[in-house]
């Protein structure tokens, strides 16, 4: 599955990049997510409690920063996710790009998600992703404002 999202944050591009380039800060903007441990340079263990349809589920993952480029204002990450029992559930590649538009910064997030066969219905994931992206945009705006 692929997700292509964009939204505007009322803040200078440098302030927004400082947050999206910092794993601890950007993960804290994802509803239900937290960094559990830093395993090395740009490798983190993360957790996510997410609502998928009527159910809440706990996921864990290894998040790796593949690219962080201050010149192009781009961050690329990979998350290999597991369920609460440690079974692989999928992998996501997340690409975040920023463009300054006057006093605003346009945030573009492109994600490619590969799920283990039969894990969840695509519609359920798409709906959950849309809600999570709205909440993330609000949290990023609040983080830049603080």
Domain boundaries, the chain: 2-145
* CATH code of domain 2-145: 3.30.530.20
Write out the DSSP string of 49-108: EEEETTEEEEEEEEEEEEEEETTTTEEEEEEEEEETTS-EEEEEEEEEEEEEETTEEEEE
Chain segment 99-129, per-residue pLDDT in tens:
999 999 999 999 998 887 655 556 667 777 7
Chain segment 27-68, per-residue pLDDT in tens:
999 999 999 999 999 999 999 998 777 778 899 999 999 999
How does residue 4 score in pLDDT terms, banded at 50, 70 and 90? very high
């Amino acid at each position: 599955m692929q997700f292509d999202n964009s939204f505007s944050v009322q803040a200078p591009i440098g302030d927004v990049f400082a947050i999206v380039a910092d794993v601890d800060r950007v993960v804290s903007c994802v509803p239900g997510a937290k960094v559990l441990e830093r395993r090395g340079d740009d490798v983190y263990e993360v957790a996510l409690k997410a609502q998928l349809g009527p159910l809440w589920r706990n996921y864990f993952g290894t998040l790796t920063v593949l690219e962080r480029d201050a010149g192009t204002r781009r961050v690329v990450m990979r998350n290999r996710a597991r369920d609460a029992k440690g079974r692989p559930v999928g992998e996501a590649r997340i690409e975040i790009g920023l463009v300054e538009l006057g006093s605003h910064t346009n945030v573009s997030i492109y994600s490619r998600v590969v799920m283990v066969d039969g894990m969840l219905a695509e519609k359920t994931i798409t709906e959950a992703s849309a809600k999570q992206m709205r909440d993330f945009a609000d949290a990023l705006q609040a983080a830049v404002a603080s």
